[in-house]
Structure 1
């Protein structure tokens, strides 16, 4: 690389990291605002929950389409458009007079994020060739994602405490517009496959199918497992996804070519990031509810209480590049075990709690394990796929992350917390959520380690 190329690559990486930081900061930071949204709109938790679930459902459901559109029409174009849509959704959510419009704004944010995130990840490969420079770039991206989410909690707690929850959304619009304006000047545009048409029917089938499934999961909390509404929604979702598989196998230009799923490294990375997603979501969702409702923390106190993940993750990401190249499979195995152990530690949920021993210690462990897994699996996701398919590969990877970790995770944990509380009369159902998360981490982690490259094959 020349000096000019290196400078341009660094500026491009800054835009990619900024996009991930903003989306990460906004994604789950709303969890800390849920009690305030309940009071503002005089709504039940299951209703305001859709500010999280609606965002996560759309984000996860349209990720495959976003990744494929980046392959077809240019990833820089998708990143720019996605950030503009994200900014529009932020403004609508912040100004919404009723809960329905707030959820609509969150849906627009989810659509923008679904376009921007796969494009951003795929653009890393365009900025840096395989080797140490790309590994360092992925490490920095891992730091920005984690710091974004956790800083979002801190900033969210401060903004809610000082300015009110509306500014949590309004303040996201300006940096999103800046990122969109800077992308065309510093990011390379990937070749567009203009002769290929997007698979509209496939996108509709998979997106509506996932939405129906997630709506069914969420409505279990309010209606019960054997009620007509969740069962009907789950059945419709399963039918639509079955139709999606059948259509993809027969259409000449599918949204998702199933042969790409034969790439072991992509499957390994997707299972691994799925494990990370369910662990992180339980920590943020169940953890912040436990801190506020169980221990009586204010939003600002709750945000600062989980800050150790942020600080540790940032340090680990900066020094991880030479570590993860040595034996990624062994590191993954150790990290999944550490993550499960930390979740079991958090599952004790004592009231009152000693911050250092009951909270900070497992959060530090999570900061180490989640960051290392993110770096390794991010490389795995795109390492062995054809350059023309890096967008859809990124979409598959990010779908596993944000669908399992975000939408499904929130829906499952919300249902668990409410169900345990209703059946036992104990409002602190957070223990069950942490236990479920630990079990899912072990299951997904075993799949990721089994599919990972043998010792000696390094990022």
Structure 2
């Protein structure tokens, strides 16, 4: 039987030791930095284009190349961490992140910048599941793990929203290059602290790597994310986007059959059939797709209807960030009191009601107050749903499979982030007599999806 050792050892008492607090700070800090990287360059894209000579139509590739690599390699990386050592993969990923961030900050051409973004995406795909599996194996399943995951979820979601603010400030005060450089000292600090705080965890017996599964799932995810991004830009009638979606779907179906026959599967079919893994990840897909696409819709509203600048728009989402932090703090208490099924219903229900209230938005400046209140309350509900999803999707599994479980959860997160915006963009465009009208129709669809998430049952 495969056995793992991890440090610090899982605990069952309700108070963290000093060492465990340091481990938590280390892992949460790294996850927060990765979340910031998803959005830190969005506000700076026009400045980057002018500085490096990017054609306007190609600027979106600064974000797309990162998303492709981050989503495409995450499941493989989670399993590799299980087999070859989580601390080792975590440190390799952090080193790659520091080096690619330095390269991005020093880039002198579009090609150099895009290569750096690809490397940052790969680093994210390595560090995120490795860091999450180190987190889940450091605390026993129950209140302590729920608290750690709640804090992790709060900081990651705050990172997504604060990335735009930080990117705007760095670009205005210094240079867009500092959106890259800021990662370098953080990565170095994590690399120095990791050997002192974390011991390696790896199996006593390492099975053979499932190469066929690795190829089909990685290629399938890359094609799927590319297809979603392409259709989001050019519409769902775009031949290249539809072809990529078809290829991605076919490869993921092939991955299922490969795993059924593999001697040492990348992701055993028995794991994917578990109700906690299956329904937990479905909840995560809904949670990330709805909230990230709502940010996109509200960005359209703030800039195109109310006339806000990019920096003012980013600052407006600071209230959403506060809501997600509050949601991450209260989520473990909600789960402990009512269980995961009711916590999921509470989170999605709260998010749906808050989102639905945004159909009242108008073109007068005073409507900003409704937006701020609704995104704050919706952020709380969304984070309760996200934390519950992470608890459910990683529960009931031995430590030897936590990298796999967190890899699946991270893949769900990144695919949800990628697919939400194209879907809401297509809805808004189809209904767009005016920009406000298109946004309102898309908000109704978004609220309906969140409400549907409230009916997901996890059997726990």
Q: TM-score, normalised by structure 2?
A: 0.88
Which position in structure 2 is the counterpart of 1:67?
Answer: 78
Aligned residue for 1:381?
393
* Structure 1 residue 298 displacement after superposition: 2.5
1:369 correspondence with 2:381: yes
Correspondence 1:295-314 to 2 at 5 A: 295-314=306-325
Pick one of 411, 418, 424 that aligns with 1:399.
411
Kindly report which structure 2 residues correspond to 1:329-368, keeping only aligned pairs within 5 A, or say none: 329-368=341-380
- After TM superposition, list the pairs within 5 Å mapping 1:146-185 onto structure 2: 146-185=157-196
- Give the drift of 1:347: 4.8
- 1:426/1:262 CA distance change after superposition, 3 Å: closer
Distance 1:144 1:224 in 2: 33
Pairing 1:239–2:250 present:
yes
What is the deviation of 1:194? 5.2
Distance in 1 (alpha carbons) for counterparts of 2:261 and 2:453: 30
Root-mean-square deviation (CA, aligned residues, Å) is: 2.7
CA contact under 8 A between 2:304 and 2:435: conserved in structure 1? no
Correspondence for 1:29 among 31, 36, 40: 40
Contact 1:278/1:440 (<8 A) preserved = no
CA separation in 2, counterparts of 1:94 and 1:435?
Answer: 40
Q: CA deviation at 1:35?
A: 4.2
Distance 1:97 1:289 in 2: 31
Segment drifting more, 427-436 vs 386-395: 427-436
Is the 2:362–2:436 Cα contact (8 Å) retained in structure 1?
no
- How far 1:392 sits from its partner (Å)? 0.5
Which secondary structure does the structure 2 equivalent of 1:174 belong to? helix
**Residue in 2 that maps onto 1:207:** 218
2:458 is the counterpart of 1:451: yes
Q: Which runs of 5+ in 1 are unaligned?
A: 454-459
- Structure 1 residue 331, shift from structure 2 partner: 2.6
From 130, 134, 140, the equivalent of 1:129 is 140
Cα separation, 1, equivalents of 2:156 and 2:384? 13
Matched-pair contact (CA < 8 Å) for 1:53–1:411: no
Q: 1:192 to 1:5 in 2, by over 3 A?
A: farther
Q: CA deviation at 1:391?
A: 0.8
Does the CA-based 8 Å contact 1:32-1:153 persist in structure 2? yes
Do the aligned partners of residues 93 and 416 (structure 1) sit closer, same or farther apart at CA in structure 2, a change above 3 Å counting?
farther
Structure 2 partner of 1:457: none
Task: Check 1:153–1:218 CA distance in 2 against 1; reply closer, same or farther (3 A cut).
Answer: closer
Q: 1:232 to 1:134 in 2, by over 3 A?
A: closer
User: For 1:272 and 1:14, how far apart are their aligned partners in 2?
Assistant: 27
Of the three residues 228, 240, 244, the one matched with 2:239 is: 228
Of residues 365, 390, 394, the one that matches 2:402 is 390
The alpha-carbon distance between structure 1 residues 294 and 160, as it changes in their structure 2 partners (threshold 3 A), is farther
For this pair of structures, how many residues does the alignment match? 446
Alpha-carbon spacing, 1:91–1:437, altered in 2? closer, same or farther (3 Å): farther
CA 1:131–1:214: 2 relative to 1, 3 Å: closer
Residue 196 (1) aligns with residue 207 (2): yes
1:68 is paired with a residue of what secondary structure? helix
Contact 2:81/2:403 (<8 A) preserved:
yes
- Aligned equivalents of 1:364, 1:222: Cα separation in 2: 29
